[in-house]
């Protein structure tokens, strides 16, 4: 499975057209169409129904979309973790992107405190005391 194809698939699913997805990904429309075709061939089923210039997810495409978002989110979290390790920070960091917004969980070094950001809401958790504070 090629991550570039998964990113392309998610972009087309989100935007609904090859032209908009190609602009967002900064690739040609023909290259984007080829990536989608290759992914469909690799999966063994159609991901989109083409109606005019619009692309609509098939039932199988809808099911695969959630999995692709999860994989890409995990890859993003792994990249962030690698950057922390490069800097010598032994704390943990993870991020997950959802349809409704962005969730980030950060742990600061050995202090035992962490912070979580969900859209515009922030949650600070102090693990040594068990105290949780929500701030908007």
Distances (CA, A) of 104 to 28, 96, 126: 33, 6, 16
| Confidence (pLDDT) at 99 | 45
| Confidence (pLDDT) at 35 | 96
pLDDT digits (tens, 9 = 90+) for 32-91: 999 999 999 999 999 999 998 899 999 999 999 999 999 999 999 999 999 999 988 765
Domain with residues 3-67, CATH architecture: Orthogonal Bundle (1.10)
Prediction pTM value: 0.62
């Amino acid at each position: 499975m090629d991550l570039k194809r998964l990113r392309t698939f998610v972009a087309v699913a989100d935007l609904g057209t090859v032209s908009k997805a190609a602009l967002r990904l900064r690739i040609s429309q023909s290259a984007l169409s080829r990536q989608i075709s290759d992914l469909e061939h690799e999966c063994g089923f159609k991901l989109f129904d083409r109606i005019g210039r619009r692309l609509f997810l098939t039932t199988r495409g809808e099911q695969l979309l959630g999995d692709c978002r999860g994989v890409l989110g995990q890859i993003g979290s792994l990249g962030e973790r690698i950057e922390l390790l490069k800097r010598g920070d032994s704390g943990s960091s993870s991020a997950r992107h959802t349809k409704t917004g962005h969730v980030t969980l950060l742990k600061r070094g050995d202090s035992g405190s962490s912070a979580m950001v969900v859209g515009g809401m922030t949650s600070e958790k102090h693990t040594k005391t068990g105290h949780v504070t929500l701030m908007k």
